[in-house]
């Protein structure tokens, strides 16, 4: 696998501590990432769309696999997807810390995965609508 730290730098040419990859075709995802952008940047975390052609190659995933969930890849190789991303981000951002404790509760991890899946299935974006239409024959309700 190609190293993200050698291949991807932030806009100022510095190597990022990690990368948050999101679905840029999803209005909900884009709003969440815009809200998190400044605090993440201050902590050395960069942001890029999953649609960037380098991302699939770097992670070894097909476009369909990439667009299933938000992803966080740290420069040390740790990778997180879906609800795990928000737990990892909670360790970085003090005001999200309560999310980091949820998995330690009985059933907490399962609850977070179910909540993430529920939100992801209702997000408003072209890529999700295409996947839902192809797999279920219906568009579903979106956020």
Q: What is the pLDDT of residues 52-82, one digit of tens each?
A: 999 999 889 998 888 889 999 999 999 999 9
Q: How many residues does the chain have?
A: 143
Contact predicate 111/104, CB 8 Å: no
Residue 141 lies in a domain: no
Domain count, the chain: 1
Tokens 């966080």: give the residue: 72
Residue 142 lies in a domain: no
Low-confidence ranges of the chain (pLDDT < 70): 1-14, 124-143
Is there a domain that residue 102 lies in? yes
Give residue 121's pLDDT: 83
Query: Which secondary-structure segment (H or E) carries 19?
Result: strand 18-22
Question: Which structural domain, as residue segments, surrounds residue 14?
Answer: 4-136
Query: 68 CB contacts (<8 Å, ≥6 apart)?
Result: 81, 82, 120, 131
Is residue 143 in some structural domain? no
Residue 121 forms part of a structural domain: yes
pLDDT computed for residue 137 by the predictor:
39
């Amino acid at each position: 696998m190609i190293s993200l730290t050698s291949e991807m730098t932030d806009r100022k040419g510095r190597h990022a501590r990690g990368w948050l990859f999101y679905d840029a075709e999803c209005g909900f995802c884009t709003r969440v990432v815009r809200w998190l952008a400044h605090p993440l940047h201050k902590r050395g975390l960069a942001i890029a769309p999953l649609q960037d052609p380098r991302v699939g190659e770097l992670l070894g995933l097909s476009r369909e696999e990439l667009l299933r969930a938000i992803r966080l890849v740290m420069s040390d190789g740790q990778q997180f997807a879906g609800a795990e991303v928000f737990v990892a981000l909670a360790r970085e951002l003090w005001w999200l810390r309560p999310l980091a404790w949820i998995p330690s509760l009985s059933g907490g991890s399962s609850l977070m995965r179910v909540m993430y899946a529920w939100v992801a299935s209702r997000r408003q974006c072209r890529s999700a609508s295409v996947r839902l239409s192809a797999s279920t024959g219906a568009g579903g309700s979106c956020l």
